[in-house]
Chains A and B, each alone.
Chain A
Amino acid sequence: MRKIFKLVILLFVINTYLSAINVGGVDLDVTFETVDYEANIPTEISSKVPLAQKPFLQRIFKTIDWNAFAKSLEVRGINFSCGWEALKDGKTHVGLVGLVAGLIEPVRLIEIVQKPLNIAVFGLDFGSKANFIKFGVNVVPGRITNFHMIPFPIMAMFLKAFPRIAEFIVVEDLTGPHMAPYLSELDPTSKNSFMLHVMHPEMYAVLVPQILLVGGLASCLAAEALDISQQCSNGSAACKVPRPDEGSVSYNGGGYMAVLDAIFPMNGCIGVKLMGAHVQSDVGSESLLNMVSWVFWTYGKLGVLKQTVKSIMNGWNKEVLCGPLRSPFGYIHTQFVFQLVTPRISSLLEIGVNNFHLIAKDDGSTANDTAALLWQRRHYVAGAYQAAGNSAQAKAGKGYLRAKE
């Protein structure tokens, strides 16, 4: 007993010490040279680049904001919270020991295309032999109707050759249920609002009134009342949410579009639109935001997207390291960041704070397909070592080793 006590004291001291020298935003010297491609333009939107003009992977490799990835790498002390919790009950002796770490990485490709079953980012057209009965209807220039979300854990692909590194930089897996692609053409709820009601009655019966009428209004009023830049000058947590005009475009009106709640149902004060209200009457890029909303909803329901506490609280919560955490909605906007990759390239932009409508502007009028990389925040235990004891949990608990969700 005394030995355990001493061990705990020692770990506490080391953890305190390491926390004191918190290494946040590790500079890995990964500033890439400017290439002859319109990619490394960090805060401005580059001119248009036709889709599939160059080999896609090469294009993506040069498009990815590597500096954002490197700067997101964080290490914050030693985790032994799961072990501590286990020790308290006096029965289990399973602990997850390693460095508490976090990062943000590109995990999915999302694209809005006009031609059904056309995966434009890969240049793969699956619809050529199909005689579209329904899908082809109402596809007119300027109207964007099909949404694809394709798993694209590019960091895992690149780090595949370095398994030892992968113990410390834990990125999205290359296998698992999350690797299923989503095509709105294959989902009845995408084109049919009635079916969305049928499949998710709880959303319409309970959540939508709650969120849109109460939470959304409060969010909008709060955003109007508070100038987020003032909060940032005080160094508060709100600084972690960028001002809208820190994105790729300038807005008139400063902070009025800032969104303060976790789910951003109102898209600031811009407009109230029911999730799923993107059906065929909706035109252009504004439908993208709604599509992203409900696609996250759908995926969340499937349990594909895991959540991170950090993304909500802008802080660390050790509980998430002991196992996956689900939000009541199934998805949380704040853990995601998007980066337009075509027809223009942007820096990383917060969903909800930045508006697709303005950033992807004129895509509707010029009938271009639009694609973006979806980045996801995560935190995990780097170099995790499982201190196994004699309990059943220890025997079964290999999942603890990569408790990255």
Chain B
Amino acid sequence: MIRITILFCFIFGLLFGFKDFGTVGNTYEVKEKNFKEMMKEGYDKLDKKELRNNYKTMIENSFTKNSDLPESNITQKYTRENYVILDYDLKARMDGPVIKKAGEKIYPSFPLNQSQTICFIDAKERILLDPTIKALGSCDIYMISGADIREMYPNPLFAGKEVYPYDKNYKKRFNLKVLPTKVKIYDKYFDYTTIDMNIIKQKLRVKGDIL
């Protein structure tokens, strides 16, 4: 009972018991820097040259992307349904109703029944690049792994095409298993083509380009 009384006194003391007791004893100036000085000091301490170099490296790195996909050793064609499986509940608003639940399939619908072709190619071994592009046939979009895409631009085989670095999100979307892979995109399905890289290497050996 005593404790509860003390607790209530404490609560009421907190809420209503304010009193100015004045200043007693010595006072000292605050030695800590104010916010303005602090940020200026932080700015002065910053190594601007290093920062610029870090940004340069960071952006340089974004031109080269590597993939973990193995090299194709079979020439084949197959198809797969074109859909995505939601990995989250789809809502129009944070507090709105769920339009589609996680795990449900979503099928795209393209206007005007369009179709495009995208090719995924590994360019680590540069000597294999041109024969691979020729073997796959023409594509609208190329996604290149293992090389700086800026080095791809002068290649006449890419003339008039869109060339981008490889992106792992595309691996998931297109369910890629090997490189190189060509995907013809339709609204209901994907048409896949893979080529056996051993055959390309064999041809190059015959020509004497690869020993």
Distance of A207 from chain B, by nearest CB (Å): 6
Name A195's contact: one of B58, B94, B141 (CB within 8 Å): B141
Q: Which chain B residue shows the least CB distance to A2?
A: B3
A330 CB to closest chain B CB, in angstroms?
9
Q: Which of A129, A206, A312 touches B150 (beta carbons < 8 Å)?
A: A129
Residues of A near B84 (CB, < 8 A) are: 201-202
Chain B, Cβ-Cβ closest to A263: B93
Known contacts A9-B7, A326-B88, A328-B93; is A157 also within 8 Å of B62 by CB? Answer: no
Q: A77-102: which residues lie under 8 A (CB-CB) from chain B?
A: none
Within 8 Å of chain B (Cβ to Cβ): is A187? yes
Please indicate the chain B residues that have their CB under 8 angstroms from the CB of A130 in the complex: 150, 153
- Does A43 have its Cβ within 8 Å of any Cβ on chain B? no
Q: A17-B14, A328-B90 are in contact. Are A183 and B62 (CB under 8 A)?
A: yes
- Residue A47 interfacial (CB < 8 Å): no
B149 within 8 A of A: yes
Which B residues are CB-close (under 8 A) to A210? 92, 99
When the two chains form their complex, are residues A66 and B38 in contact, meaning their CB atoms are under 8 A apart? no
Could you tell me if A157 and B94 are in contact, using CB atoms closer than 8 angstroms?
no
B150 A127 Cβ-Cβ under 8 A = yes
Size range of the interface on B? 35 or more
Residues of B within 8 A of A6 (CB): 7
Contact across chains for A199 and B116 when beta carbons are under 8 A apart:
no
Asked whether, in the complex, the Cβ of B46 is within 8 Å of the Cβ of A206, the reply is no
Known A-B contacts A133-B153, A161-B42, A201-B107; the reply to A195 vs B116 at CB < 8 A is: yes
| A191–B162 touching, CB < 8 Å | yes
What residues of A have a CB within 8 angstroms of the CB of B34 in the complex?
28-30
Contacts A17-B15, A192-B141, A328-B94 hold; do A183 and B59 have CB atoms under 8 A apart?
yes
What residue of chain B has the Cβ atom nearest to residue A26's Cβ? B35
Is B173 close to A, CB under 8 A? yes
- Alpha-carbon gap, A227 to B118, bound state (A): 50
Q: Is the CB of A157 within 8 A of B141?
A: no
A306-327: CB near B (< 8 Å → 1, else 0) gives: 0000001000000000000011
Q: Which of under 10, 10 to 19, 20 to 34, or 35 or more describes the interface residues of A?
A: 35 or more
Q: Is the interface of B mostly helix, strand, loop or mixed?
A: mixed
Among candidates B56, B91, B167, B185, residue contacting A328 with C-beta atoms closer than 8 Å: B91
A134 and B35 within 8 A (CB): no
> How many angstroms from the CA of A262 to the CA of B161 in the assembled complex?
38
Q: Is the CB of A134 within 8 A of B59?
A: no
* Cross-chain contact A204 with B153 (CB below 8 angstroms): no
A119 contacts which chain B residues (CB < 8 A)?
Answer: 55, 59
Chain A residue numbers with a CB within 8 Å of B38 are: 158-159, 162, 165
> Would you call B92 and A207 a contact (CB within 8 A)?
yes
Partner of A158, one of B39, B91, B185: B39
Neighbouring A residues of B141 by C-beta, 8 Å: 188, 192, 195
Interface residues of A in 159-202 (CB under 8 A from B): 159-162, 165, 179-181, 183, 186-188, 191-192, 194-195, 197-199, 201-202
Q: Give B160's nearest chain A residue, CB to CB.
A: A133
Contacts of B55 in A (CB 8 A): 119, 122, 124, 150
B185: shortest Cβ distance to chain A, in Å? Answer: 6
B92 A211 Cβ-Cβ under 8 A: yes
B100 near A206: Cβ-Cβ < 8 Å: yes
Which parts of B45-83 form the interface with A (CB within 8 Å)?
45-46, 48, 51-52, 55-56, 58-60, 62-63, 83
| Residues of B with C-beta under 8 A to A161 | 41-42, 45
Q: Is B176 an interface residue (CB 8 A)?
A: no
Contact with B along A241-271 (1 / 0, CB 8 A): 0000000000000000000011100000000
Complex contacts, A328 vs chain B, CB 8 Å: 88-94, 96
> What CA separation (Å) do A256 and B45 show in the bound complex?
47
Known: A201-B109, A328-B93. 8 other contacts (CB 8 A): A117-B150, A126-B150, A160-B46, A181-B58, A181-B59, A188-B164, A201-B106, A206-B99
Chain A residues close to B by CB (< 8 Å): 6, 9, 13, 17, 28-30, 32, 55, 57, 61, 66, 70, 117, 119, 122, 124, 126-127, 129-134, 150, 157-162, 165, 179-181, 183, 186-188, 191-192, 194-195, 197-199, 201-202, 204-207, 210-211, 214-215, 261-263, 301-302, 312, 326-328, 332
